[in-house]
A and B are shown apart, each in its own frame.
Chain A
């Protein structure tokens, strides 16, 4: 009996944590292992200065690997807005290497560079502004970007540049040789010896992981480059990882991994890859913020090592730039499995500059319709039409606002997306109309795996158009997912995406209506029986291997879906699409959530740094499943999660099929009241959220911000991840500890004043403030000197509140002034963009007077059907 018990216990434990053995370590990923075996200091690369070509827009220069004589082509661009782009590819690759398309919104505009100096050791280029220069050292090759006497950033300073050139397989070569005349053999052989052809290492031409084998017909193709940030010991970014905001030193452990994966029950504080990947790292110190955007969609590993001593040995030309004092330094090394090196160095210098620079490359957050900023009620699964109705009525009965009810996979007819279960969801339009009558909306799931079933027209069409991803042998690639055997449409193919988008037309997607929106899950893509629960790397997307495109697949799914929703309304209505997988640029297509978390306090806590990291790299519309997806939350945890979620950008409760029901009113009147209050606080602040999202759309600045973004010279803020700012004016410190009796919040800014938004109590900045809490507490502070707009008439959905009056909360600075913005439009169409129909005003308060001036043109039709607005105000006294 005892051994049996032990075995059961083991099974239970096993079922509750990620099975790490399903996912590769660096050691198990042959290119990562090969690359990581190289140690710093002996770069074989040399710049061939005589190959320099300088034009108005770029310079090119060849590099040579002295070990194998393979030549690379370096392209250097000065980009508009204080950015530098460095591209390195093989000069003459055997076949083209993948360059990631569709991420950059335009061909980035360039600015001229000038050659300042040149000798046999290198050359110096002027970047035009602020005495910024690029110093190219020839032997070994390295790049230093300097500003005046300061080195901002160095490339290949540790000599870890590696470019595994494409090559013919050895046995293929010898095969050819035997069929040629003997005399040629010698010359070929001697040539080969001259270039000291590297020996094949294990895993170069084939690799197996568990039962899966990767055929690697193109052989090794990985790339690597190192970057050094002198004077920096805080770096951020490279989501998605369930870890701290500030990136960790990876010496002695695995690097951060970027490889979109469906990780079952992911672990916290672990650098394993998760569902999405944005290859952007942001460096920060009190003087400067910078970024590196590594544009590569293949499996990528990032090593970070920081040191506090100025150990870097600079070249002769660098002698003048650095004193001998001890300075921190962070080294970052990127390793990708294929593609080319295409790096954007975002030179800041402020955090907002970096956001603007990155936004100019990859675009900004899609401006969501107002209702999507409301509360979303989701569950796997609402059982049927009646269930949906009951839940909808539950919100009214308990007077809790709600904008969206969601349907997970069970709503379909046998997991055939774009269909409805004929019994449980017969007449979906009746259901949608019922919600529309309440001014509520619905989201249905549409995943990218398609049931292989000759009776399913979506499958038949994709097959007949040959839109499926193919195996290495050219057959339709099939894998196991929710519907059983499934095909995976090739979303990298623009024709496929156009076809997919057309399927969301109202006459194509039967049962859909204008208040139905879409959720793309499993788009890593998830393949239950594939290597690491995803697609085989040798599967083919046209002529490219899955290896090349893996991390961008999910972006394309959301892009195609989002375009479908725009098209179905003739380009009038803003779309809403939630995605689990993402890549650089995904912000343009909708919202992201942190995937399948669990009902644990640790998961509530980690939702903050996870969303903050996403915000730093452009993805503002982020949230975590409120309550936790797996497992059953305690009532306390559920309430705390609602309170935290109400102050995070994407606010959706979700639950696993096997958990008990947890609609907000199922935990007794006291808890219902607590949840109601949290959701009401969210709705009252919707005008502020809307304005923040408009700002994100315009500027690329995150909605939910790490404190250091607004207080970049205040080192105390650099590692804070249990509180954050909304915009720059609201500071939120949610309660994320079980049984908490108080929290300690850091109020930043010497000379700032912070007002408790619930009590209007005043606190000084630059202090740690202990705040006693009860179950109803959500510590939130408004910055003195700010004006925040609210709508205090909280109704059952955001749409019901569209015409309600605004209440401006004017928090005075010590000087008795305040300022803010207000943004109003029709809340759901593109008319703000196309017709410039919106109000955007700057508000300021001084001398006891509120005034406003135009930030942008108002078109009167915003207020169509309304009388002339009546302005009046009364002064509240405190």
Chain B
């Protein structure tokens, strides 16, 4: 790659002096790699890329691409330095931390030429760590025992739920049969009821027709007398013309031709022929005895207003109906019942009803039939309710069973529980597998910080984090969400809450359910030693 005219020449200008060399092994080399650094023999970079004279090891100049020739200086950007840390845990630090004036190794070996005053704190740290480990071991031990109990309880509870579910399933079958039986009973009872009611209704309708015809006749007679101004026993064209409301071409007056037309092409009619004329004019005819007021036809807006008023007055009852909707569901099959429950519907103009008498009560026979049908209905509904109830119970149990409560269901005891933590400003509430919320301590409404989402821990143990999502939205921000971090503890408690990022909450929660077997804990801690 090199041409004789060097394109770029890199020249190091060292301000610091060369490093002193340790006797036993070069500075910064871990015991495990000691054999690669043999004094007075050429050194081969650990990646095998190059061999250099040994005096270039730790000469504060980087020769190996992997940084292995400078284990004890900061010369290589990718090097690492080994601190023995006798009394504590040995560790590697990036070589950029050698002689940077900051004490990193507790045995002070990283700061051999920086003037930093480091104290050897390894013993102290070792002791502290030991104490912490011991305490942790204790907690873990007790926690793990508690966890076994939890697992046992969960098992019991699970069995309980399972048997309850089986019981409910059986129950359900019985109930379904019962419902079907009662439905048949009901339908059987309703058939005669329906017939009897229809009969009754028909009779009443007929009676109403008779009454209506009689009334009409009386009205006609009255009208004839009124129209027959000269009392000659005939209604004449001129007499009809006084009734402008009978106008047929909408010009506001009744012309002779129009009047003649109304009278069936003749000049006058007697009482007998008037019957036909009456049929033509009775809808428009205004009795002279009635006070003169604008005909309803002329004021459609007012009428529609009235109708609207009526409508709005109807709303409360509509609402009632809606509220009862669920209960009424099964009644949808019987529209005629609805009909007689509320006889005056909007569609019948109230005026007409005024004259009509209410429907006479059912006769005894019909009433007996109705009562019998009602009883059958009640029984049927009751059985249906019972079935729904069982369904609900089953759904709840199935939902609970469907949750992932951990490999041994050790988290199931948290289900339908809530845990609170009070801070200086807020009361936080964690209801595991349900939701997280926050409420101001001194009044104010609750804020949803997220509802149960998933387990979100690392791949090797997803049960270390819970994620609650889709809480109340933030201004210009995301919906609130909460991550719950679970740590081993004897108690089940919310330890702390924080909001590391706007609207993203973090909750620390201790529970025995995440306590590992004590041996496992210790070996995993030792595992860290090797890094």
| Interface residues, chain A, with chain B CB atoms under 8 Å away | 15, 383, 387, 399, 423, 437-439, 657-661, 680, 755, 760, 762, 792-796, 799-801, 803-812, 816, 845, 848, 850, 863, 865-867, 869-878
Contacts and interface: CB of A to CB of B under 8 A. Distances in A.
Given A399-B94, A760-B7, A873-B12, A660 B502 contact: yes
Nearest to A790: B10
B250 interface: no
B139 to A, nearest CB: 23
A127 B204 CA distance: 123
B477 interface: yes
Given A792-B77, A876-B8, A15 B13 contact: no
A226 B9 CA distance: 53
A803 B18 CA distance: 13
A106 to B, nearest CB: 39
B207 interface: no
B75 interface: yes
Interface in B1-53: 1-2, 5-18
B61 interface: yes
Contact of A795 (B17, B97, B501): B97
B358 to A, nearest CB: 45
B74 A804 contact: yes
A812 B8 contact: yes
Contacts of A812: 5-9
B245 interface: no
Given A15-B476, A871-B14, A809 B8 contact: yes
17 contacts: A439-B101, A658-B477, A661-B500, A795-B97, A804-B15, A805-B14, A850-B9, A865-B115, A869-B14, A870-B14, A870-B15, A871-B13, A872-B12, A873-B12, A874-B61, A875-B9, A877-B1
A755 B502 contact: no
B231 interface: no
Contacts of A657: 502
Contacts of B8: 755, 760, 809-812, 876, 878
B12 A874 contact: yes
Contacts of A804: 15-16, 74
B100 A876 contact: no
Contacts of A805: 12-16, 60
Contacts of B101: 439, 799-800
B77 A876 contact: no
Contacts of A659: 477, 501-502
Contacts of B18: 870
Interface residues of B, number: 42
B342 interface: no
Contacts of A383: 498-500
Nearest to B474: A658
Closest 10 CB pairs of A and B: A873-B11, A800-B100, A661-B501, A805-B14, A658-B477, A877-B2, A876-B10, A795-B96, A810-B9, A808-B11
Contacts of A865: 115
Contacts of A760: 7-8
Contacts of A873: 11-13
A807 B60 CA distance: 13
Nearest to A824: B15
Interface in B475-531: 475-478, 498-504
A384 to B, nearest CB: 9
B299 interface: no
A810 B11 contact: yes
B102 interface: yes
A794 B13 contact: no
Nearest to B424: A423
B15 A439 contact: no
A807 B94 contact: no
A714 B237 CA distance: 111
A630 B14 CA distance: 45
B102 A800 contact: yes
Contacts, number: 137
B499 to A, nearest CB: 7
B15 A866 contact: yes
Nearest to B100: A800
A661 B475 CA distance: 16
Most buried by B among A658, A793, A812: A793
The secondary-structure label for the interface of chain A is: loop
Contacts of A437: 102
Given A658-B474, A658-B475, A872 B9 contact: no
Nearest to B1: A878
A796 B7 CA distance: 31
A755 B500 contact: no
A762 B6 CA distance: 11
A562 B13 CA distance: 35
Given A793-B74, A869-B13, 11 more contacts: A680-B77, A755-B8, A793-B75, A796-B96, A803-B16, A803-B114, A809-B10, A811-B8, A870-B17, A876-B8, A878-B1
B498 to A, nearest CB: 7
A877 B16 CA distance: 25
B181 to A, nearest CB: 46
A52 to B, nearest CB: 62
Given A661-B501, A800-B102, A794 B77 contact: yes
Contact of B7 (A680, A762, A848, A867): A762
A444 to B, nearest CB: 21
B23 to A, nearest CB: 23
**Residue among B2, B11, B500 with the highest chain A CB neighbour number at 10 A:** B11
A816 B476 contact: no
Contact of B478 (A660, A816, A850): A660
B499 A806 contact: no
Contacts of B478: 660
Contact of A439 (B17, B75, B102, B502): B102
A878 B114 CA distance: 34
Given A803-B15, A806-B15, A870-B18, A793 B10 contact: no
Contacts of A878: 1-2, 6-8
A592 to B, nearest CB: 26
Nearest to A12: B476
A870 B12 CA distance: 10
B100 A796 contact: yes
Contacts of B16: 803-805, 866
Contacts of B499: 383
Contacts of B7: 755, 760, 762, 811-812, 878
Nearest to B103: A437
A807 B2 contact: no
A659 B96 CA distance: 33
A801 B60 CA distance: 15
Contacts of A848: 6
B498 A875 contact: no
A137 B256 CA distance: 105
A799 to B, nearest CB: 8
A794 B96 contact: yes
B100 A439 contact: yes
Contact of B12 (A15, A661, A807): A807
Nearest to A863: B15
Nearest to A390: B500
Contact of A875 (B6, B94, B114): B6
Contact of B500 (A387, A795, A800, A874): A387
B350 to A, nearest CB: 37
Contacts of A15: 476
A494 to B, nearest CB: 41
Contacts of A808: 10-11, 13
B3 to A, nearest CB: 8
Interface string B89-107: 0000010110011100000
A869 B13 CA distance: 8
Nearest to A875: B9
